[in-house]
């Protein structure tokens, strides 16, 4: 299934992320999460990278859950401290729904991240998306890890000069990050200018159109899969609104 | 007719001091010309002007003109410039931006709207030239620095330019890669390609027919 046409994967991502934004009831979101997980594995997402990403976002997820639990005051109280309700049913449900929403988005992103960039560009080209737009998207996605590496390199350079990050207070750390941001952004701007020059030197933007050496073709399996996904999407949306 | 010719080129970045002052140079087909000079003398800037990057991508006060086979560079479209002038930069990491070698080499010919069969032919030919045919489907991230620079050169060769500009392309290469790239340049010269390269080391002079020295904004031809 990992060789499914990128357009089918894009359609699946669109369905999952749209569902994640539309659904607010827990059972539906849980169902969507299950569907999304199945697709993630079937479409050949890098499981290790996904696990790493989930682990990295875990503190943020827990914070989001905590914020919902603390600030949503409606619903049946579930946990009291003395007479004060700390956890309510609605707070827990909303927190869980929001968490699932993030999981779904991460899983969808993992599927596209696992896809060959050139196949995605070729798919965009078949979909008549202007190539300047699709390349901009690709370069931006490839630039994010570069930006993150530049930032961690700058942090390592500081540590090699004797700054012990672990001993700094949170305020001092935040100040340090703020001070590092400008040179790292400046470095990213320089790199992006160089990249633009290199791309242009190889003819990028020279013609209103460009050909694609890599060809993607929708097979019968891809069309059937798209059809099944489309029907599932319609049924899910109808079910969500007509059977609350 | 000269393949590449600079006439009375003067350049300064904005209000700064003049970096190049009335510089004249030329490169004939089948000839390799080396440009030498101390750091900050404007060698890279002259390469950028010769390749049309200045004023197309970087601004500054430019006077004079660059002729490509007798036609002013500024009067040519980007597609015409790219078909005729290939530029290889110093750092291979900034020149490779696709996941695999094949993707990297296909990028240029795709931009020129060449058909798939022609692109396949050019990829095979360019990889063969840099002795990396077996690397066609390899991920660029896994290559060594020298291999990356050879792939960057192959990506330029896939455009089949008639003029090749190299900006300190040897500076980060190991001995083996240097020998291969030199071999490629010799073959390209035999095919009639004009090569204009910035290199300071004595070890590359064997490739050159002529040498220019750039210093204090002035250029002069030096004896080999």
Whether the per-residue pLDDT at A2 is higher than 70: the answer is no
The answer, for A214 touching chain B at a CB cutoff of 8 Å, is yes
Whether the per-residue pLDDT at B2 is higher than 90: the answer is yes
- Domain spans, chain A: 1-115+226-244, 128-213
B contacts of A206 (beta carbons < 8 Å): 77-79, 82, 111-112
In a domain, B58, yes or no: no
- A86: which DSSP letter? E
* CA–CA–CA angle B149, B6, B200 (5° rounding): 40
Question: Average pLDDT of B114-125?
Answer: 96
Q: What's the CA dihedral at A221, A40, A131, A189 to 10 degrees?
A: -170
Whether the per-residue pLDDT at A1 is higher than 70: the answer is no
Question: Average pLDDT of B90-114?
Answer: 92
What CATH number has the domain bearing residue B137?
A: 3.40.50.300
**Nearest CA distance, A145 vs chain B (angstrom):** 13
- The answer to whether B97 contacts A212, with C-beta atoms less than 8 Å apart, is no
In a domain, B205, yes or no: yes
Which residues does residue B165 pair with via DSSP β-bridges, in sequence order? B87, B196
**3-state percent breakdown (helix, strand, coil) of chain A, nearest 5:** 75, 5, 20
Chains A & B: contacts with CB separation below 8 Å: 90
Closest residue on chain A to B103 (Cα): A118
- The answer to whether A211 contacts B120, with C-beta atoms less than 8 Å apart, is no
In a domain, B53, yes or no: no
Residue of A117, A139, A201 with shortest CB distance to B53: A201
Question: Average pLDDT of B55-77?
Answer: 92
d(CA A24, CA B3): 67
- The answer to whether A203 contacts B98, with C-beta atoms less than 8 Å apart, is no
The answer, for A52 touching chain B at a CB cutoff of 8 Å, is no
- The answer to whether B116 contacts A201, with C-beta atoms less than 8 Å apart, is no
Residue of B99, B116, B159 with shortest CB distance to A203: B159
Which of the four pLDDT bands, split at 50, 70 and 90, describes residue B94?
A: confident
Mutate to test the interface with B, among A138, A202, A207, A208 (most CBs of B within 10 A): A202
Which residues does residue B7 pair with via DSSP β-bridges, in sequence order? B65
Per-range mean pLDDT, top range of A56-60, A161-165, A237-241, B14-18: A237-241
| pLDDT value of residue B140 | 92
d(CA B123, CA B133): 9
Percentage of residues of chain A with pLDDT beyond 70: 99
Report CA torsion sign: B164, B109, A209, B90. Answer: negative
Whether the per-residue pLDDT at B89 is higher than 70: the answer is yes
For residue B145, how far is the Cα from the chain centroid?
Answer: 18
Residue B179, domain extent: 28-42+77-222
Q: Output the pTM of the full model.
A: 0.82
Question: Average pLDDT of A212-236?
Answer: 93
Question: Average pLDDT of B47-53?
Answer: 93
Closest residue on chain B to A212 (Cα): B110
Question: Average pLDDT of B121-146?
Answer: 94
| pLDDT value of residue A73 | 80
- The answer to whether B116 contacts A196, with C-beta atoms less than 8 Å apart, is no
The answer, for A117 touching chain B at a CB cutoff of 8 Å, is yes
Overall size of chain A counted in residues: 244
- Sequence-distant (6+) residues with CB within 8 A of B59 are B14
Name the 3-class secondary structure at A81: strand
Mutate to test the interface with A, among B57, B111, B169 (most CBs of A within 10 A): B111
- The answer to whether B82 contacts A118, with C-beta atoms less than 8 Å apart, is no
**Nearest CA distance, A41 vs chain B (angstrom):** 22
- Number of compact structural domains in chain B: 1
Residue in this structure with the two tokens 């699946």, named with its chain if needed:
A12
pLDDT tens sequence across A5-18: 999 999 999 999 99
Question: Average pLDDT of B182-187?
Answer: 93
**Nearest CA distance, A231 vs chain B (angstrom):** 35
Question: Average pLDDT of B29-49?
Answer: 93
Residues of B at the A interface, defined by Cβ within 8 angstroms: 51, 53, 56-58, 77-79, 82-83, 86-87, 89, 91, 94-95, 97-100, 102-103, 106-116, 119-120, 123, 155-156, 159
As for the ipTM of the complex, it is 0.91
Mean pLDDT taken over chain B = 92
A contacts of B156 (beta carbons < 8 Å): 202
Q: Which two tokens mark A18?
A: 């749209």
| pLDDT value of residue A79 | 81
């Amino acid at each position: 299934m990992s060789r499914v046409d990128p357009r089918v994967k894009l359609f699946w991502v669109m369905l999952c992320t749209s569902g994640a934004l539309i659904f607010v009831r827990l059972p539906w979101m849980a169902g969507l999460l299950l569907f999304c997980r199945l697709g993630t594995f079937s479409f050949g997402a890098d499981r290790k990278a996904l696990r790493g990403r989930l682990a990295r976002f875990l503190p943020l997820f827990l914070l989001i859950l905590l914020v919902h639990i603390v600030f949503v005051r409606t619903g049946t109280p579930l946990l009291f401290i003395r007479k004060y309700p700390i956890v309510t049913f609605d707070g827990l449900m909303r927190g869980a729904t929001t968490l699932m929403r993030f999981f779904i988005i991460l899983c969808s992103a993992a599927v596209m991240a696992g896809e060959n960039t050139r196949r995605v560009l070729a798919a965009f080209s078949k979909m008549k998306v202007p190539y300047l737009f699709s390349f901009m998207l690709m370069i931006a996605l490839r630039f994010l890890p570069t930006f993150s590496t530049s930032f961690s390199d700058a942090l390592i350079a500081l540590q090699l000069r004797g700054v012990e990050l672990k001993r700094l207070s949170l305020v001092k750390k935040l100040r340090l990050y703020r001070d590092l941001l400008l040179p790292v952004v400046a470095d990213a701007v320089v790199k992006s200018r160089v990249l633009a020059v290199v791309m242009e030197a190889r003819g990028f933007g020279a013609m209103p159109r460009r050909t694609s050496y890599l060809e993607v073709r929708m097979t019968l399996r891809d069309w059937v899969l798209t059809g099944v996904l489309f029907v599932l999407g319609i049924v899910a949306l109808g079910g969500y609104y007509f059977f609350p | 007719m000269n393949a590449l010719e600079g006439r009375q080129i003067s350049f300064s970045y904005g209000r700064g001091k003049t970096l190049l002052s009335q510089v004249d140079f030329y490169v004939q087909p089948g000839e390799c010309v080396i440009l030498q000079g101390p750091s900050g003398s404007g060698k890279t800037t002259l390469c950028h002007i010769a390749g049309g990057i200045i004023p197309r991508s970087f601004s500054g006060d430019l006077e004079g003109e660059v002729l490509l086979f007798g036609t002013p560079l500024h009067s040519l479209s980007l597609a015409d410039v790219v078909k005729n002038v290939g530029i290889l930069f110093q750092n291979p990491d900034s020149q490779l931006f696709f996941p695999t070698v094949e993707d990297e080499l296909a990028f240029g010919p795709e931009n020129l709207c060449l058909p798939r069969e022609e692109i396949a032919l050019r990829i095979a030919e360019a990889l063969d030239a840099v002795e990396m045919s077996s690397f066609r489907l390899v991920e660029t991230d896994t290559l060594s620095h020298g291999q990356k620079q050879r792939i960057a050169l192959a990506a330029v060769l896939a455009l089949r330019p008639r003029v090749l500009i190299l900006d300190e392309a040897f500076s980060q290469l190991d001995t083996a890669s240097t020998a291969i790239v030199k071999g490629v340049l010799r073959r390209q010269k035999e095919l009639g390609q004009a090569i204009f390269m910035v290199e300071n080391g004595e070890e590359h002079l064997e490739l050159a027919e002529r040498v220019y020295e750039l210093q204090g904004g002035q250029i002069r031809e030096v004896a080999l």
